Amino acid sequence: MKRLLAALLLYALAAQAQPDTRRSGFADMSPATQAMQRDDGLNPAWLWVKDGEALWTTTAGRRDKSCANCHGQVSSLRGVAARYPAWDAALGRALNLNQRIQQCRTRHQQAEAWPAEQAQLLGLEAYVAMQSRGMPIAPSKAPELQPLREQGLALFTQRIGQLNLSCAQCHDGLAGGRLAGSVIPQGHPTAYPLYRLEWQGLGSLQRRLRNCMTGVRAQAPAYDSQELLALELYLKQRAAGMAWEAPGVRP
Partner 1 sequence: MARTVITLPERARRGDIVEVRCLIAHTMETGYRNDDQGQRLPADLIRRFTCHYRGELVCGADLFAAISANPLLVLFVHATESGPLDFVWEGDNGFVQRESRTLTVT
Is residue 168 near partner 1 by the rule CB under 8 A?
A: no
β-bridge pairing 194-196 and 201-203: antiparallel
Q: What are phi and psi of 65, to 5 degrees?
A: -115, 155
Q: Which is nearer to partner 1, 41 or 143 (CB)?
A: 41
In the list 26, 28, 29, 46, the residue contacting partner 1 (rule: CB under 8 A) is: 46
Q: How far is the CB of 237 from partner 1 (least distance, A)?
A: 33
Q: How far is CA 236 from the centre of its chain?
A: 7
Q: What are phi and psi of 177, to 5 degrees?
A: -80, -165
Q: Of all helices (H) and strands (E), which one includes residue 102?
A: helix 97-103
Is residue 41 near partner 1 by the rule CB under 8 A?
A: yes
State yes or no: is 212 an active-site residue.
yes
Is residue 56 near partner 1 by the rule CB under 8 A?
A: no
Q: What mask, x for binding partner 1 by CB under 8 A, covers residues 87 to 126?
A: ----------------------------------------
Is residue 197 near partner 1 by the rule CB under 8 A?
A: yes
Q: How far is the CB of 51 from partner 1 (least distance, A)?
A: 6
Q: Is the dihedral of CA 16, 22, 26, 28 positive or negative?
A: positive
Task: Say if residues 106 and 95 touch (Cβ distance below 8 Å).
Answer: no
89 secondary structure, DSSP code: T
Furthest-apart CA pair in the chain: how many Å? Answer: 59
Q: What are phi and psi of 193, to 5 degrees?
A: -70, 145
Q: Which is nearer to partner 1, 51 or 232 (CB)?
A: 51
Q: What mask, x for binding partner 1 by CB under 8 A, covers residues 21 to 40?
A: -------------------x
Judged by CB under 8 A, which stretch of 25-33, 47-55, 131-139, 210-218 contacts partner 1? 47-55
Q: Which is nearer to partner 1, 47 or 135 (CB)?
A: 47
Q: How far is the CB of 44 from partner 1 (least distance, A)?
A: 5
Is residue 156 near partner 1 by the rule CB under 8 A?
A: no
Is residue 51 near partner 1 by the rule CB under 8 A?
A: yes
In our burial notation (b when 16+ CB lie closer than 10 A, e otherwise), range 56-84 reads beeebbeeebbbeeeeeebeebbebbbbb
Cα–Cα distance between 192 and 126 in angstroms, integer? Answer: 8
| Chain residues that interact with partner 1, rule: CB under 8 A | 40-42, 44, 46-47, 50-51, 197, 200-201
Residues involved in catalysis: 212
